[in-house]
Amino acid sequence: MLGFALAVGLESNGWALVCDIDVPPTLSIEEANASFTLTFTDFIQGTHSSTYGARYRVECNHMASGIVSEAVSAQLSETFESTKLEASVDGYENVGEATYATLAAAYSGFGEASSQSTSLADKHTGSPCCDTCLDGWLAVTWRATLTKDAVEGSQSRTLTITLRDGN
């Protein structure tokens, strides 16, 4: 039951306040491991290394609406000698609202990561109300392939994974 009380003959003084609510922008891609090692069992051209399965945590609340090409990309500080680094996007698991946008592989199978920005995944649209949000896990498998017979040794490069909002 809903009731109302009416005070007759009393005046009240009001005080108007402004209440601001601020939600900061979020644009984040992270993986638990800071590095990984790929090893070869052979030194012959065409040999593939072991693989590393990465799970990148992706969060954004201000993506551009619609499809965003190259939303997730990879770039090496410099290429490897006699070896190419390759990535295969294995899928995206949305852990946010079902209406959020999603990520999908930019290509099928393994593609080469180089010293130039290389697209891994594109942002696909969600429902109109939530198309600017991403909240999930992007699975990527990394491997190396020998481009020519290789000599013994180790190489190390910096691999940068970038999430861009398309704005």
Ranges of each domain in the chain: 42-163
pTM greater than the 0.75 cutoff: yes
Whether the per-residue pLDDT at 12 is higher than 80: the answer is no
Confidence at residue 17, expressed as pLDDT on a 0 to 100 scale: 86
> What's the CA angle centered on 121, arms 118 and 123, to 5 degrees?
130
Q: Which of 52, 59, 41, 69 is nearest to 159 (CA)?
A: 52
Tokens of 56: 């990148």
Q: With beta carbons less than 8 A apart as the criterion, state whether 141 and 78 touch.
A: no
Q: Give the pLDDT score at 5.
A: 46
Residue 6: predicted pLDDT: 47
Confidence bin at 60 (pLDDT 50/70/90): very high
- Cα torsion angle, 97, 98, 100, 101, sign: positive
Q: What CATH code would you report for 42-163?
A: 2.60.40
Sole residue written with tokens 């638990």: 32
For residues 135 and 121, give the distance between their C-alpha atoms in angstroms, rounded to a whole number: 14
Please report the pLDDT score of residue 52 as a whole number.
Answer: 97
Element (H, E) at 28: strand 27-30
* Closest residue by Cα to residue 59 from 26, 12, 17, 108: 26
**What average pLDDT does this structure show over 61-90?**
95
| pLDDT attached to residue 8 | 53
Chain Cα centroid distance, residue 120 = 9
- What pLDDT score does 34 carry? 81
**Tens digit of pLDDT for each residue in 16-44?**
888 888 888 999 999 988 899 999 999 99
CB 113 within 8 A of CB 76: yes
